[in-house]
Amino acid sequence: MFLESHLDRLLDRLRLPDPIPVRLDLWRRRTFDLGPDPSVTIRIPRISALRYLVSPDLMKLGEGYVEGHIEVDGSLADIFDVGERLARTARRTRRMSGLRRGFTQSRRGDKRAVQYHYDVSNDFYRLFLDRNLVYSCAYFRTERDSLDLAQEQKLDHILNKLALRPGERFLDIGCGWGALILRAVERYGATAVGVTLSRNQYDHVRAEIERRGLTGRCEVRLQDYRDIPERAVYDKIASVGMFEHVGLRNLPVYFRTIHRLLRDGGLVLNHGITDPDPERPWMALGAGQFIGRYVFPESELPHVSLVLKEMSAAALDVLDVESLRRHYARTCDFWANRLETNRERAIELADARRYRIWSIYLRGCVHGFKQGWITIYQVLACKSGGPEMNRLPLTRDYIYGG
């Protein structure tokens, strides 16, 4: 067969130019070490599974692992490190260019993608998220902060940046399990609306609003952001971990919608993952393809320069830009460790395949944020309307004193 006849050549190619601490355990009890002291063993149970090692990238290796065609032993941190090194070694032998996509998101497609990712099981997410089910980058004031504390600090960091005041109307686009709107009402005295496309999240937030006695002050809607009907009624808007799903072509629509919803002089904070390099070289390793297929269908990451350009084009005056990349690496490390600790329960709640997807994805995010493959920014902006519209204090002191 073609694959078996080319096995020796394949192994020679994988051994060069640098040793990789991985053992290949092949059918017929054949083993090959690609470096000394292997920390990871990749088990190839049948010859057909060799295709995942022919010019391997993170997409092919991830697919083989997720679908159960190859078996991998070792810590997930070591597994991802070995996977990256295999992909880089293979890339040296071929010429690849970054994958560029250009989805035109539809309401139906967005809803389907959100439901695929979020409507797994609320109990599944409870296994690794904090007590408030905040599924976005936390904010660590010290390296000793717990995940619970850091996520509450993140909520306050956002609401303080927005200078949210009692009686103001606050909108959260993509509200998740509702932690931000609940805190805006209970701690800041605002009235709040959150929108989500996830039925599981919607049901959870509705129950929390009722349980906490916040009906009339806090509302959640199962609604696409483009269908929010109000015009110029919200004093403050936040969008946290949502615009990654918008699509590059839809960024103008997204920011124009925010402009329509804001009062003159109103503030918006966009908190989202971005691509640090306009040329997107990490895409050539296959990571983006894996995420698009298995984790976030039809997701795209803009460069922060495009975010600022489109916000400005929508008459949203950018006031403050902050990178939280190191915070997200730390957040994902908490999530990955907690999910791995709860492996058996996760498989029971979802299934083994879903566990493999999420575990390797979260561990990959730790690696990606640490290496600078991906980053995240909070961008604060004001709806333009004249020189007196921005009434924030002259310095950032107000953000950290609240």
99 inside domain: no
Is it the case that residue 58 has pLDDT exceeding 60?
Answer: yes
Is 365 in the active site?
yes
For residues 151 and 23, membership in a common domain is answered with no
156 inside domain: yes
Mean pLDDT value across residues 172-201 = 97
What range defines the domain where residue 14 resides? Answer: 2-92
The residue out of 36, 61, 92 marking a domain boundary is 92
For residues 267 and 378, membership in a common domain is answered with yes
25 inside domain: yes
- DSSP one-letter code for 375: E
Percent of the chain with pLDDT over 90: 53
> For the purposes of burial, counting CB atoms within 10 Å of the CB of 284, is it exposed (0-12), middle (13-18) or buried (19 or more)?
buried
101 inside domain: no
Domain of residue 46, CATH code: 3.30.1050
155 inside domain: yes
pLDDT in tens, 326-341: 999 999 999 999 999 9
Number of domains in the chain: 2
For residues 184 and 128, membership in a common domain is answered with yes
Residue 281 pLDDT: 47
Domain of residue 340, CATH code: 3.40.50.150
DSSP 42-90: EEE-SGGGGGGGSS--HHHHHHHHHTTSSEEES-HHHHHHHHHHHHHHH
327 inside domain: yes
C-alpha dist (Å) from residue 124 to 127, 130, 178, 288: 5, 12, 17, 24
- For the CA atoms of 146, 148, 149, 155, the dihedral, rounded to the nearest 10 degrees, stands at 140
Is it the case that residue 289 has pLDDT exceeding 80?
Answer: no
98 inside domain: no
Contact present, 114 and 198 (Cβ < 8 Å): yes
For residues 200 and 262, membership in a common domain is answered with yes
The pLDDT confidence band at residue 3, using thresholds 50, 70 and 90, is low
The residue out of 29, 57, 92 marking a domain boundary is 92
The residue out of 92, 115, 146 marking a domain boundary is 92
For residues 122 and 29, membership in a common domain is answered with no
For residues 65 and 187, membership in a common domain is answered with no
186 inside domain: yes
For residues 67 and 183, membership in a common domain is answered with no
For residues 62 and 137, membership in a common domain is answered with no
Select which of 137, 218, 365, 382 is catalytic. 365
For residues 38 and 184, membership in a common domain is answered with no
pLDDT in tens, 79-129: 878 888 888 776 655 444 343 444 455 565 554 544 444 557 899 999 999
Residue 376 pLDDT: 95
For residues 133 and 29, membership in a common domain is answered with no
Highest mean pLDDT among 66-70, 298-302, 323-327: 323-327
For residues 121 and 88, membership in a common domain is answered with no
From CA 84, how far away is CA 79, in angstroms rounded? 9
Is it the case that residue 236 has pLDDT exceeding 90?
Answer: yes
For residues 26 and 129, membership in a common domain is answered with no
